[in-house]
Amino acid sequence: MTNNHVVFFDTTLRDGEQSPGCSMTTQEKLTMAHALEDLGVDVIEAGFAMASEGDFAAIATITQAIRKPRIASLARAKSEDIEIAARAIEHATRPRIHVFLAASDLHLEYKLRLSRQEALDRTGESVRLARSFVDDVEFSPEDATRSERDFLVEMVRIAVEAGATTINMPDTVGYSTPEEYGQMFREVRGRIPAVDEKGIILSSHCHDDLGLAVANSLAAISAGARQVECAVNGIGERAGNAALEEVAAALYVRKDHYGVTTSIKLDQIYATSQVLGQIITFKPSPNKAVVGDNAFAHESGIHQHGMLANPLCYEIMTPGLVGVAKTHLVLGKHSGRAALRHRLEQLGFQVSRDELQHIYYRFVALADRKKNIYDQDLIGILPDEIRERRHEPVAELD
**How much of the chain exceeds pLDDT 70, in percent?**
91
Residue 277 CB coordination number (10 Å)? 16
DSSP letters spanning 177-199: -HHHHHHHHHHHHHH-THHHHTT
Domain presence at residue 396:
no
In single-letter form, the type of residue at position 102 comes to: A
Give the chain's mean pLDDT. 91
Q: Is 42 helix (H, G, I), strand (E, B) or coil?
A: coil
Domain count, the chain: 2
CATH, residue 31: 3.20.20.70
Which strand (E) or helix (H) includes residue 98?
Answer: strand 95-102
What is the pLDDT, as a whole number, of residue 300?
53
Residue 2's pLDDT band, with cuts at 50, 70 and 90, is: low
Tell me the whole-structure pTM to 2 decimals: 0.84
Q: Are residues 117 and 89 in the same domain?
A: yes
Q: How far apart are CA 266 and CA 262, in angstroms?
A: 10
Residue 61's pLDDT band, with cuts at 50, 70 and 90, is: very high
> Of 279, 310, 327, which residue is a domain's last?
279
Q: How far apart are CA 264 and CA 355, in angstroms?
A: 49
Domain presence at residue 398:
no
DSSP letters spanning 221-256: HHTT--EEEEBGGG--STT-BPBHHHHHHHHHHTHH
Q: How far apart are CA 206 and CA 228, in angstroms?
A: 9
Residue 339: give the domain boundaries: 297-388
Residue 1's pLDDT band, with cuts at 50, 70 and 90, is: very low
In single-letter form, the type of residue at position 216 comes to: N
Q: Are residues 66 and 214 in the same domain?
A: yes
Q: Which of 127-141, 216-230, 325-339 has the lowest mean pLDDT?
A: 325-339
Residue 238's pLDDT band, with cuts at 50, 70 and 90, is: very high
pLDDT digits (tens, 9 = 90+) for 259-308: 999 999 999 999 999 999 999 989 999 899 998 877 766 555 556 556 56
The mean pLDDT of 91-103, rounded to a whole number, is 98
